[in-house]
Structure 1
Amino acid sequence: MLSIFNQKYTAPIPELKSVAKAILFGLFIGLFLIFFEPFDINLSTNENKNYQLLFFGCITTVVLLVFLYVFPLLFPKIFSDIHWKVKHQIILYLIALFVIATLNGFYTNYINHLSFNWSNYWWIINKTFVLGGIPFAFLTLLDYRQKVNLNIAVANNLSNAQKERVTKPSYGTYNILTDLKSKTFCLKENDFSYAMAVGNYIDVFVSIDNTLKRVTYRVSLSSFETQLKEAQKLVRCHRSYFVNLKKVESISGNAQGLKLKLENQSEIVPVSRKYIPIVKQFFQENQ
C-alpha cells in the first residue's frame, strides 16, 4: 500500500489549469467558511463578516498560485516529471497548507487586533490541516489512480494500432539550422530516433548500423521542432523530448502519461499528457 507514494506522478507545470485549480479551491474555502462557519472563528465585527471569511479563501488562492504556478515557472528542474512522485505532490500540498495556515493565523490576529500567541497559532494550524490536509492527500491518490488507469488504457489501444501499422522506409532529409553562425547539420529521418533538450542544446540520437549514437548541437528544442514541422512522423512528445514515431517498438502508460520504447535502444521516451493526442492521432491514422 505504501509503495503508491513512490510511484511516478505529474509534476505541477505553469499552465492555466493550475491557475483555475488555485482559484476554485480558494473560492471553495471562502464559501465553505461563510455558509458553515465550522471552526467558530472569532471576528472583530459582524458588519464585514462575509468579506473577512472570504479573504481566507483569497489567502488560499494566492499561496496555491505560488506553489502550483510561480514555483514551477521559476524552478523547472525541480518541478520535473523525471523525479516527481506521489509523495512529492503530497509534501508540496502540506507545505502549502502550512503557509496558508500561518498566513491565516496572522490575518486572524490582525482583524481581531491581537498580538501573536502560540496557542492561537497552533489552533489555526490544526484547523487548516483538518480542512485541507486530508482532502488534498485523498484527491492526490485518487487522481493518481485515475491517471494510471486512463493512460494504461490509451497505451493498450495505441499498442494494438502500432502493431498493425505498415512500416515503410523514410527517406526524408532535413538541414537543421543551429545557433552557431548559421551552421547546419543534416538529419536523415530514417536514422533519427529521438532528441532531448539539454539547456540551450539538444542531444540528437541516431541509429546507424543498429547502433545508437548521440550528437550534441547548439539549437533549442523549440527551434528544432519548428524546422521539422513538415515531418509528420517526427513530433514533440514532451517539453524536453522530440521523437520519431516510426521507431516506436512498444507503448506503456503511467500516471505521468505514456512511455515509448524505441527500436535498438534502452532509453524510454516520455509522452506528457499535453502531447498524447498527437501520438494517438499518428498511430490511428497509420494502421
Structure 2
Amino acid sequence: MINKLLTLLHTPYPVLVKRWKAVVIPSFIVFIILFLLQPFGISMMESHKFWVLLGYGIVSSMALSVFVYMLPATFPRYYDEQHWTLGKELLGTLGACMLIAIGNWFYTAWWFGGNLLSWRGFLISVIWVGILAPFPIAFFLMWNRNLQLARNLKEATEMNFILSKKISLRKEKREAEAEEEDDVCCPVTEKPAHLVFSGGTKEMLEIPADALLYVEAEGNYVRIIYRVENKIQQRLLRATMKQAEEAVAACPFIVRCHRAFLVNVSTVVKVDGNSQGYRLRLDGCKDEVPVSRAYSKEVKTLIEGTLEG
C-alpha cells in the first residue's frame, strides 16, 4: 500500500500552462465564496463589506503568487518542468493553503482589531481555508488537466498530419525503387545498419536497425520488440537501459521517449495525445509506447523534421 502511494506521488504531473490564471481564478473563486458565506463576522458589517472581501481575495492572490512565481524563480531546479510530480504539486498546494490561512489571520486581525497572539484566530482561519480551499483547488486541477489535454491533442493532430504525408511519400519512394530494380539485372543493395544488444551475460541479440520497434525496461532486464519478416518478435535480455541506449547510439532515429522506453521513431504511424503527453502507435505493432513530458519535445521534433525521407 505504501509503495503504491509513493509510486503515485512520484508520477509526472502537468505543470501550469497559464500561470497568471493559477493566481487570478482561485482568488476570484475565494472572493465569490466569501461573498456568499461571509465568515469572520463579515455578515454583521454594515459598510465596506465589498472592500473587505476584496482584501481576502488579494491576500489569496499574494500567497498564490509566492508559489506560482517567486519560489519557481528562486529554486528553478526543484520546479523544473521535466521533474514535476504529483507529490510536489500536492505539497505546493498545501503550502499555498497554509500561507493563505496565515495571510487571512493577519488581515482579519488588522481589519477587525484582533489579537495576533491569539491561536484561536489562527485556528479559525485555518478551518475556513480548509472549508473553502477544495472548491478552487478542484476547479483549477480539472481546468489545468483539460488545458494540457487540449494542447497535447492539438500537437498530436499536427504530428499525425505530417506522418500521413511522410508515409505516403515513403510508399511512393518504395514503389519507384521497386520499378528501378526491375530494370536492373543485378541491383546493388546497401547493407542496413545493425544493432547489437548485450548485457552482463553471454546472451546477445543482433538485428537490423530498421527492424527495431521499441525497447522496454523491466527491472534488471530489457525487452526488445522487433520485426522479422513482417512478424513481431520479442527478446528479454539481462541489461540496463543505459546499455540499450549505447547499443542504439549510432541511430539518430532511435531515441529515449520515457524513462523505461526507447523507440524507433521511423516506425511511428500515429500519435495519440493525453494530459500527460503522447502515446505512439508503431507500424504493425498492437502495443502503444508512452512519451513522457521530459522527452516530448525531442520526439515531436524527430517526427516533424527527420522523417522527410
Is TM more than 0.5 here?
A: yes
Shift of 1:112: 6.1
SS of equivalent to 1:190: helix
1:198 to 1:103, Cα distance in 2 relative to 1, 3 A: farther
CA contact (8 A) 2:101 2:129 kept: no
2-structure distance, mates of 1:97, 1:182: 51
Give the counterpart of 1:125 among 116, 124, 127.
Answer: 127
* In the alignment, structure 1 residue 186 sits paired with structure 2 residue 186: no
Any residues of structure 2 matched to 1:223-242 within 5 Å, and which?
A: 223-242=243-262
1-structure distance, mates of 2:298, 2:270: 17
1-structure distance, mates of 2:191, 2:98: 60
User: 1:143 is aligned with what amino acid?
Assistant: N
CA contact (8 A) 1:237 1:272 kept: yes
* In the alignment, structure 1 residue 275 sits paired with structure 2 residue 295: yes
1:101 to 1:278, Cα distance in 2 relative to 1, 3 A: closer
User: 1:202 is aligned with what amino acid?
Assistant: V
Give the counterpart of 1:249 among 262, 269, 273.
Answer: 269
1-structure distance, mates of 2:220, 2:99: 39
2-structure distance, mates of 1:94, 1:189: 43
1-structure distance, mates of 2:286, 2:206: 24
Identical positions, percent: 18
**Residue in structure 2 matched with residue 265 of structure 1 by the alignment:** 285
1:228 to 1:181, Cα distance in 2 relative to 1, 3 A: same
Structure 2: gaps of 5 or more residues = 1-9, 28-53, 106-114, 175-189
Once the two structures are superposed, residues 196-255 of structure 1 have per-residue CA deviations (whole angstroms, 9 ceiling, x without a partner) of 112232111122233322211222223312331220221111122111122222222121
CA contact (8 A) 1:251 1:258 kept: yes
Any residues of structure 2 matched to 1:65-144 within 5 Å, and which?
A: 121=123, 123-128=125-130, 130=132, 132-144=133-145
2-structure distance, mates of 1:203, 1:216: 5
User: 1:194 is aligned with what amino acid?
Assistant: Y
1-structure distance, mates of 2:277, 2:93: 27
2-structure distance, mates of 1:148, 1:278: 19
SS of equivalent to 2:56: coil
Structure 1: gaps of 5 or more residues = 1-9, 30-35, 42-52, 80-88
TM-align CA RMSD: 4.6
